[in-house]
């Protein structure tokens, strides 16, 4: 087994710290999305989703670079040689990912409820319009009725 070099460990730590910063931004955006759903601000919600997608793309780029270093680090000779700072950053990333996953699930439920509410309102308004339309057809609306003076 090859032992990971100090420079590789430092590079991996930097990449993981960059990833941690991006995950913190994603967590903040996800929390904001919860508030936006509560306020029914759908345009801002969609914009926030776009921003989050950009951050996810950046994380994917970091993963491509850090994957070989992480594999080398994971296969290093013993657990005693593991860098505690690397382990700490990796653990924090995992906690943030779990938190965001939970918030995303809640947001999806809230979004489905909002969609259902809006669908019901649209259906109710459509039914009312149909009812009004039936009455409107029963009343004659010829110009002669309005032009006559009585």
Q: How far apart are CA 85 and CA 42, in angstroms?
A: 40
Q: Residue 49: how many CB atoms within 10 A of its CB?
A: 14
Residue ranges of the alpha helices (H) in the chain?
6-39, 42-74, 84-138, 143-147
CA 11/CA 17 separation, integer angstroms: 10
What pLDDT, in 10s, does the model give residues 92-135?
999 999 999 999 999 999 999 988 988 898 888 877 777 666 56
Each residue of 79-117: b (16+ CB within 10 Å) or e?
eeeebeebeebbeebeebeeebeebeeebeeeeeeeeee
Query: With 50 as the cut, is the pLDDT of residue 8 above it?
Result: yes
C-alpha dist (Å) from residue 100 to 50, 104, 133, 144: 16, 6, 48, 67
pLDDT tens-digit readout, 15-66:
999 999 999 999 999 999 999 998 989 899 999 999 999 999 999 999 999 9
> 1 falls in which pLDDT band (50, 70, 90)?
very low
Handedness of CA 49, 52, 57, 59 (dihedral sign): negative
């Amino acid at each position: 087994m090859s032992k990971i070099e100090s420079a590789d460990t430092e590079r991996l730590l930097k990449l993981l710290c960059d990833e941690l910063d991006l995950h913190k931004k994603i967590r903040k955006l996800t929390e904001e999305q919860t508030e936006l759903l509560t306020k029914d601000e759908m345009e801002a919600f969609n914009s926030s989703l776009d921003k989050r997608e950009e951050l996810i793309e950046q994380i994917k780029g970091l993963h491509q670079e850090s994957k070989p270093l992480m594999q080398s680090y994971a296969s290093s000779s013993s657990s005693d040689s593991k860098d505690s700072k690397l382990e700490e950053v990796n653990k924090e990333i995992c906690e943030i990912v779990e938190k965001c996953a939970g918030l995303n699930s809640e947001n999806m439920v809230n979004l489905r409820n909002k969609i259902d509410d809006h669908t019901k309102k649209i259906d109710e308004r459509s039914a009312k319009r149909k009812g009004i339309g039936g009455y409107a057809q029963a009343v004659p609306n010829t110009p002669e009725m309005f032009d006559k003076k009585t």
